[in-house]
A and B are shown apart, each in its own frame.
Chain A
Amino acid sequence: MQTHREMNFDALVVGGGIAGLQAALDLADQNFKVAVVEKDASIGGKMIRLSKVFPTLDCASCITTPKMAASAHHENITLFTYCDLKSISRESDTVLAARVVQKPRYVEADKCIGCRQCEYGCPVHVPDPEQGNFSMRKAIYIPFSNAIPQIALMDVENCSLCGKCAKVCPTGAVNYFQQPEELVIRAKTAVLATGFRLTPLDQKPEYGKGKILNVISSLDMERLLAPHGPYQRVLRPSDGKEPDAIAYVQCAGSRDKTLGVSYCSRVCCMYAIKQAMLLSGALPLADITIYYMDIRAFGKGYEQFFQNAKAMGIEFVKAKIAKIEQADNQSVRLRYEDQEGAGAVMEREHDLVVLSLGMVPEWHPEGICPVGCDTDAFIRTPMSRLSPTLTDMEGVFVAGVAAGPKDIVDTIAEAGAAAMEASNYLNKLNKKAAA
């Protein structure tokens, strides 16, 4: 480690997605000093990577970016992006200490102006996971167009060390010798907002183990639908064809004991319907089919959203897909039981198939933070009925999908609740100290 810094805050927020940012803003607005620790090079979490949100079809970027900017410019919030959280432990009755490693970007954050000259100059192309690996970035790059902060970072594993980035950088920000930096962040309270990832695309052998062309994940489809997506339009990834027939396979990663995910991920029905509606707009002539076990439209306005989708001509087929196979002409064949008909085994082909994968925790606290987890691996909330943001560690609260699958609306409401619990906890500590 090159350096070691120690800092004190009132609150530590782990995770810079929408839950973490909402909790941080709510605490910062009450005049508490907040540190947000994020593992990625940009804040914004999954939400900034989405195209639109249900059921209002608001542009995800348009409603996430203001919160990201507000957090970045708030006088009481300090962002620590591209960081590894090594541990959170209780140092005393009133202090939690987080050991964090700031990973090297190989670009000086205070010098980089985000002009992307380094990216344009770099000769190495690397598949870009931010775009579902459907297009490539460079070995030195800005994570994505609306990333905050707009600071480049270098992927040293793919860097040829040719020196072009340093040569073209107008501010001399490239630093090939940057080292990780150890930070100790002390705070009186913490909010865990570590979010989710999707179950793997290659998990189910009967769904082709991720090897079938034109079978993609729901987050991949978000990128295809996003204005800054890899093709700036919806094309099938195998050959650039504009798809005529698109299918959604529901419960492809949830409600399935064989995958160890027996729970419902709660948002897949609604995001599939949302994507189907967006596809209807982008490709008015395309046939869009959703194969579902049952539709769970639980939130405000969700049932109407589902009814609207049916009225738009989106086909809903009640079936659990049994098998997915590669068909001729790079199409995808789905096999299922016709549950609403004679119960026969049916086969249908589609140009593009989207797996509505389930949600699993992005972060596992074991060995890092002594909070407990439930059998589903999400963070345990011992008072889930009355105080759903409390964990089994005093002074540590949880918000968003870190505690269990939920949609953006519930995530934001829960983040506000976690901030309120944290605020009450801080006020109690302060009163005790003053007494």
Chain B
Amino acid sequence: MNETDKKSQKEALKALRVQRKASIERARNAVKEQNKRVKAIVAALKDGAKTVPEIAAATGFSTPETLLYVATLKKYGRVGEGPKDGDYFKYELLESKAGA
């Protein structure tokens, strides 16, 4: 891509950002909230593996929301399943941070 193309691409993106202002704003706010939740769950797991109710108690999030995030972090390789504790599985932090 030459300089002129780069410039026109930048201008077009700027116009697109104006056009999609409302959805972009919503998505940015969602990312901020999601990052807070991910950070809190990761912080809770730094003390060691925990079950979903234990993570929820440590973070103050509801258990359904906590499981939703834990399942997502597991999907993208940031959290792994640990040993079972009663009826619940414990989850632990993994080294890889791919995609989460």
Chain A residues within an 8 Å CB radius of B30: 124-125, 158
Chain A residues within an 8 Å CB radius of B20: 156, 159, 161
Chain A residues within an 8 Å CB radius of B26: 158
Knowing A125-B34, A135-B71, A239-B63, say if A159 contacts B23 (CB, 8 Å). yes
User: How many angstroms from the CA of A177 to the CA of B82 in the assembled complex?
Assistant: 44
A230 on interface, CB distance cutoff 8 Å: yes
Min C-beta distance of B93 to chain A, whole Å: 17
Residues B68 and A136 in contact, CB atoms below 8 Å apart: yes
User: How many angstroms from the CA of A244 to the CA of B87 in the assembled complex?
Assistant: 8
Chain A residues within an 8 Å CB radius of B12: 177
Chain A residues within an 8 Å CB radius of B81: 232
A160 on interface, CB distance cutoff 8 Å: yes
B13 on interface, CB distance cutoff 8 Å: yes
Residues B63 and A240 in contact, CB atoms below 8 Å apart: yes
Residues A159 and B67 in contact, CB atoms below 8 Å apart: no
Min C-beta distance of A60 to chain B, whole Å: 20
The 0/1 profile, CB within 8 Å of B marked 1, for residues 232-266 of chain A is: 11010111111010000000000000000000000
Residues B31 and A124 in contact, CB atoms below 8 Å apart: yes
User: How many angstroms from the CA of A135 to the CA of B24 in the assembled complex?
Assistant: 22
The 0/1 profile, CB within 8 Å of B marked 1, for residues 141-166 of chain A is: 00000000000000011111101000
Residues B72 and A136 in contact, CB atoms below 8 Å apart: yes
Q: Which of B17, B20, B69, B72 has the most CB of A within 10 A?
A: B72
A176 on interface, CB distance cutoff 8 Å: yes
A36 on interface, CB distance cutoff 8 Å: no
A134 on interface, CB distance cutoff 8 Å: yes
Min C-beta distance of A127 to chain B, whole Å: 7
A120 on interface, CB distance cutoff 8 Å: yes
User: How many angstroms from the CA of A412 to the CA of B70 in the assembled complex?
Assistant: 39
Min C-beta distance of B23 to chain A, whole Å: 5
The 0/1 profile, CB within 8 Å of A marked 1, for residues 72-98 of chain B is: 101110000100100111000000001
**Beta-carbon nearest neighbor of A120 in chain B:** B99
Residues A239 and B52 in contact, CB atoms below 8 Å apart: yes
**Beta-carbon nearest neighbor of A121 in chain B:** B99
Residues A119 and B71 in contact, CB atoms below 8 Å apart: no
The 0/1 profile, CB within 8 Å of A marked 1, for residues 24-68 of chain B is: 101110110011000000000000000111001000000110111
Taking CB atoms and an 8 Å cut-off, the chain A residues in 101-144 that contact chain B are 119-121, 123-125, 127, 134-136, 138-139
Chain B residues within an 8 Å CB radius of A156: 20, 23
**Beta-carbon nearest neighbor of B34 in chain A:** A125
Residues B67 and A239 in contact, CB atoms below 8 Å apart: yes
List the interface of chain B (C-beta within 8 A of A).
12-13, 16-17, 20, 23-24, 26-28, 30-31, 34-35, 51-53, 56, 63-64, 66-72, 74-76, 81, 84, 87-89, 98-99
A-B contact pairs, 22 of them (CB 8 A): A135-B71, A136-B69, A157-B23, A158-B26, A159-B20, A159-B23, A160-B27, A161-B16, A161-B24, A163-B13, A176-B13, A176-B16, A177-B12, A231-B74, A238-B63, A239-B52, A239-B56, A239-B88, A240-B53, A240-B66, A240-B70, A330-B63
List the interface of chain A (C-beta within 8 A of B).
119-121, 123-125, 127, 134-136, 138-139, 156-161, 163, 176-177, 213, 230-233, 235, 237-242, 244, 330
10 residue pairs, one from A and one from B, having the closest CB atoms: A120-B99, A240-B52, A239-B63, A160-B27, A135-B71, A136-B72, A240-B67, A241-B87, A160-B28, A230-B71
